[in-house]
Amino acid sequence: MEIDPRILMFVVFGGGLTLAVTLERWLARFWLSLPILYVAIGFGLWSLPLGLPHFNPTVDGFDAMTLEYATEFIVIASLMAAGIAIDRPVSWANWRQILPLLLIAMPLTIAAVALLGWWTLGLAPASALLLGAALAPTDPVLARSVQVGPPGENKRHDVRFSLTVEAGLNDGLAFPFTYLAIAAVGMTALGGWTVDWVLLDLVWRIAAGCAIGWVVGRIGAWYVFEREADAPIAEIDEASEQAGTPSYSTSEGLIVLGTLLLAYGIAELAEGYGFLAVFVGAVTARQRENRSRYHKISHHFIDQIEQIVLVAVLFGFGAMLASGVLAPLTWPAALVGLALIFVIRPLAGLAAELQCDLPMIGKLAVAFLGVRGMGSIYYLAYGQNHAEFAQIDLLWATVSFTILASIVVHGVFSGPFITHVESRRAHIHVGQNPSMAGLSPESRSKA
């Protein structure tokens, strides 16, 4: 009996969706993550002679375009979920720990990876810069195990908070350097194009993305909370349990999803960074009616969408590995990826955390647990689809190996590391009350 590859893909994807939640809980008992298993399944299936289509962006431009669109959407969904999950009010006192991660750790990572790419791999400057830009952002998609929990938990966790907000913001802030790499293709000297990059790609696009996200987030929150009466999460959940009815529907999730997709689209039309607009918009909407049940509803809804796309992308990444994307990998390229995970990111993260008053083990957790994932694939695919980069096959091999290594290393060690940090009470800033600090006065009174 001949197996139709198309039908087999439906079976694999359907089974993956059905078992995702159960497997995630079961794997957590062994300090493993779902991405490790699903990438391995994808690799195994596509390695068998089943007639499944090969998926390799280095040999097929359509595959690269597909990757760009698929990873773009899953990053958007992850940024929505991360932004809505943040309970902590926006203020300098609450958020100041994030700025060094963006202004110190990220540029240092880009520079170090680009330098290694140029020096050890012999990449052209533009290709080396694209490699640095693609591998610099931490990932909001695969870092679920180290991010803050759903809305309404009201538990202070500075390590998870730092990793969540960093991933939410640096996914947009990697774009200026991707644009710089695209602009540098074929250039041999600095000139007027660098001034244009600073004014448009670095200044305007960041400002436009943040401003549009804030405005759309405010309008979206107003629209939601003016349409229907609000009640605290605890009261809704208690009333629902007594009535034996569900405590949420999906209409509110649709509104929030539509609003944040609107923020992304408007920001891109205005030549701003849509990723920044989505995260800023989600955080802005989250700040209004902080205890509203709608935030929990919206997070649940968007989290489901994210998981659906994530299963497909993880199988797709396994298919990429089986289709030969790692064939051009060299030992120096593999060492660049390992250096990023074990040396560059930890040192850059510690440099950024020098003035932070987290205990040292907490600083190490923030510095080490910078997961690489779907954002890196998106930026590399975007670069490939918008310019002719030399040695693009080596770039894909290096980035794919780094993501694979990150999935394994962080997937195995993030759980025990976070647990150890929490057991040492090193997950909160010195002198803070973990159950109260950083919460709004209303939340404190009800905690």
pLDDT by residue (tens digit) across 80-134? Answer: 888 888 888 888 888 888 999 999 999 999 999 999 999 999 999 999 999 999 9
Q: Which of 120-124, 371-375, 399-403 shows the lowest per-residue confidence on average (mean pLDDT)? A: 371-375
Torsion of CA 426, 284, 303, 445, to 10 degrees: 50
Taking domain 14-48+62-432, whether its CATH number is 1.20.1530.20 is answered by: yes
Rounded-to-integer distance, Cα 183 and Cα 192, Å: 11
pLDDT tens-digit profile of 248-277?
A: 455 667 788 888 899 999 999 999 999 999
The most confident of 13-27, 59-73, 116-130, 286-300, by mean pLDDT: 116-130
SS3 content of the chain, % helix, strand, coil (to 5): 70, 0, 30
The rounded percent of the chain whose pLDDT value lies above 90 is: 45
Alpha carbon 311 to its chain centroid, in Å, reads 15
Q: Which of 366, 334, 333, 330 is nearest to 347 (CA)?
A: 366
Coil, helix or strand for 314?
A: helix
Q: Where are the alpha helices (DSSP H) in 369-423?
A: 374-386, 392-423
Q: How far apart are CA 372 and CA 342, in angstroms?
A: 12
Give pTM, 2 decimals.
0.88
117: exposed, middle or buried (Cβ count in 10 Å: 0-12, 13-18, 19+)? buried
What's residue 262's pLDDT? Answer: 95
Distance CA 35, CA 24 (A): 9
pLDDT in tens, 166-221: 988 988 899 999 999 999 887 766 667 788 889 999 999 999 999 999 999 999 88
Residue 229 — φ and ψ, nearest 5°?
-60, 150
169's CB contacts (< 8 A; 6+ apart) are: 98, 102, 276, 279
Give the pLDDT confidence score for residue 270 in this predicted structure.
Answer: 96
Which residues lie below 8 Å from residue 417, measured CB to CB, with a gap of 6+?
Answer: 365, 368, 369
**How is 257-275 classified by DSSP, letter by letter?**
HHHHHHHHHHHHHTTS-HH
Q: Which of 175, 161, 156 is nearest to 382 (CA)?
A: 175
Average pLDDT of the chain to the nearest whole number: 84
Domain ranges of the chain: 14-48+62-432
Beta bridge partners of 292: 232
Give the pLDDT score at 249. 52
